[in-house]
Structure 1
Amino acid sequence: MRAVREWSLSRLPLAGMGGVWVIAASATFGVWGGVAVAVAVALAIVALPHLPEIMELRIAHARPLQRRMSERFGTRLAEISRAAGLAQPPEIRVIDGAPNAFSIGDRRHCVILISRSLLELLSERHLIAVIAHEVAHVAAGDVRLIRFGEAMSRVTFAAAVLGLLTGAVTYMITGEQMAPDWVYWFLAFAPAATSLLQTALSRRREYAADARSVRLTGDPGALSQALARIQFANGAHMKDTIEEFAGVRGRSWMRTHPPVPDRIDRLQRMAGRN
């Protein structure tokens, strides 16, 4: 029952985005247009299509891990993968860029991409915690879920801009409106609505992955310390300090990921209970 509830809640923001599409299609193409889009969105949410793994690896310019890890690291990785229900331990690939890690694939086969700078920044204990977080995403099916949400948000933005431009050009040429006023207002606010829904989806899955990674490793302190190191290395602490001093700090509800201090606070409370 809990699994069904979690499955439903995780897809609720996607359903909200789909609702925006259905209303827009109904206003533009009529009732049957809305029905067709509703069926297409429902099938897409259930199936959650994704990019082929090889294509994603090429886009990321991922390379095999050259660094030699300890025997304990391999043992812990195998234990975590088995506990999460993965068919085999994830393949570790290296990418360039700022300290970061993300995953692609599913329970049958997944690849975790870790930046070289993150490998240099973290000890094996902290690295296991970060990998456990990504494994938790894979086990919960978050990889395709979040990326599909991002794709829906981008398509909504493109469709809204196209619809508004088409309406404006048509009005300038013919002097007539293609649709009622409320349609254009709806298209103007649709991208913001889908962005908020996508943000809610991403944040919920990040918190859930943090909690599950702690259950996999039994070491909440490792993940909280890893997050703090990543935050420090990325220079976000200095950026936040400057923004707070200047009074121009961005709204936290507009960030796709939860604020790192909030995640660390939750993990420290878990460590306290343990």
Structure 2
Amino acid sequence: MTANTLRTFFLLAGMTALFMGIGYMLGGAAGAMIALVVAAGMNLFAWWNSADMVLRMHGAQEIRPGDSNAHFRQYAEDVQRLAQKANLPAPRVYVINEDQPNAFATGRDPSHAAVAATTGLLARLNREEVQGVMAHELAHVKNRDTLTMTVTATLAGAISMLANFALFFGGNNRAGLIGSLALMIFAPMAAMLVQSAISRAREYEADRVGAEIHGNPMALASALEKIERSARRTINPAAERNPATAHMFIINPLNGQRMDNLFSTHPDTANRIHKLRQMSGAAASPASGPWGQRGPWG
């Protein structure tokens, strides 16, 4: 068991304990058991339906082999080649009609995985950079991060829901009114801390493994720099409507985070680029590829 896996296990155990603790405050031992059963049910549902749920939220369209758009077909073919290189089953490949450059992976396991990129990402990045981004997403699939992040998002949402129940019932629970207010404020914050800690660690690891899959760390470093710069100036309406999915994207789609603070779901992009440059041993320079410095729609 790797250090990352062990750390994730303990963080998830802590989040589950927090969920049960809130259940206990609401209804004693019976409340804790009910909370555990509810958490298990929610996670089972998320495990089975996570990919399709997230793809629908963001209006993703699957790219078929006979797609009339040659650029989409090229992007899908590149993903398939990278998956083969990573010894992964071919994932479903999607495109999202969204100007903000971004991408994510989802699915309960490598055999049921899907990757998606926005048209903004394909327009602003050259082909080699797009490959670097998709290799990063395939690294999440390879590391089974997509399931981990779905579970953490589900538990975080459930904790917030239970905390609101505690306030609704007010003094009619073990916490009392003051305790209910404290639960409403601090329980979701604790859940966010756990979710953020897991997400940041997973992003660094996916950068490393993705760079190894692609073979050119500087392509991903250049892509991250372009995505960060453009994403900060472009609103992603679907992500704003569904903030619980923000941690799944390669760059936070909601707002700019200039440092690794407690509630950031993503590491500082400059830190990620620095680590990738260390992997390559090269100075900073934009990656070049068959699509030039911008994508085919640029």
For the residues of structure 2 that align with 1:235 and 1:30, how far apart are their CA atoms? 46
Deviation at 1:165, TM superposition (A): 2.8
Partners of 2:264 and 2:97 in 1: how far apart? 24
Say if 2:58 and 2:96, in contact at 8 Å, map to a contact too: no
Structure 2 unaligned segments of length 5 or more: list them: 234-257, 284-298
Structure 2 matches for 1:61-72, cutoff 5 A?
61-65=59-63, 67-69=69-71
In structure 2, the partner of 1:268 is 277
Structure with the largest fraction of helix: 1
Q: Which has the larger radius of gyration?
A: 1
Q: Does 1:125 align with 2:128?
A: yes
Change (3 A) 1:12 1:112: same
Question: Quick one: structure 1 residues 67 and 127, their matched pair in 2 at CA, closer, same or farther if it must change by over 3 Å?
Answer: farther
Aligned residues: 253
SS in 1 for 2:95: strand
Alpha-carbon contact 1:11-1:45 (below 8 Å) kept: no
Structure 1 position 112, deviation (Å): 1.5
SS of 2:106's partner is strand
Inter-partner Cα distance in structure 2 for 1:49 and 1:252: 29
Name the SS for the 1:113 alignment partner. strand
Helix, strand or coil at the partner of 1:261: helix
**Equivalent of 1:179 in 174, 177, 182:** 174
Question: Using the alignment, how far apart are the partners of 2:225 and 2:105 within structure 1?
Answer: 20
Unaligned runs of 5+ in 1: 172-176, 237-248
Contact kept in structure 2, 1:24 and 1:187, CA below 8 Å: no
Structure 2 residue 23 is matched with structure 1 residue 16: no
Relative to the length of structure 1, the TM-score reads 0.78
Runs of 4+ in 1 over 6 A off after TM superposition: 42-48, 70-75
- Judge conservation of contact 1:24–1:183 (CA < 8 Å) in 2: no
Deviation at 1:73, TM superposition (A): 6.7
Q: Give the number of the structure with larger relative contact order, counting CA–CA contacts within 8 Å between residues 6 or more apart.
A: 2
Selected match of 2:155 from 139, 152, 155:
152
Name 1:111's counterpart in structure 2.
114
| Match in the other structure for 1:242 | none
Q: 2 CA distance for matches of 1:251 and 1:107?
A: 29
Using structure 2 for the length normalisation, give the TM-score. Answer: 0.73
Relative to structure 1, is the Cα distance of residues 157 and 42 closer, same or farther in structure 2, using a 3 angstrom cutoff?
Answer: closer
Kept in 1: contact 2:94–2:115 (CA 8 A): yes
Q: How does 1:1-274 map to 2 (within 5 A)?
A: 1-2=1-2, 6-38=4-36, 41=39, 49-51=47-49, 53-65=51-63, 67-69=69-71, 77-105=79-107, 106-167=109-170, 171=171, 178-180=173-175, 183-184=179-180, 185-235=182-232, 252-272=261-281
Contact 2:46 2:150 in 1 (8 A): no
How many angstroms apart in 1 are the aligned matches of 2:37 and 2:151?
A: 16
Retained in 2: the 8 A contact 1:99–1:233?
A: yes
CA RMSD of aligned residues (A): 3.2
Instruction: Give the counterpart letter for 1:193 in structure 2.
Output: A
Aligned identity (percent) is: 27
Matched residue type, 2:274: D
AA aligned opposite 1:86: L
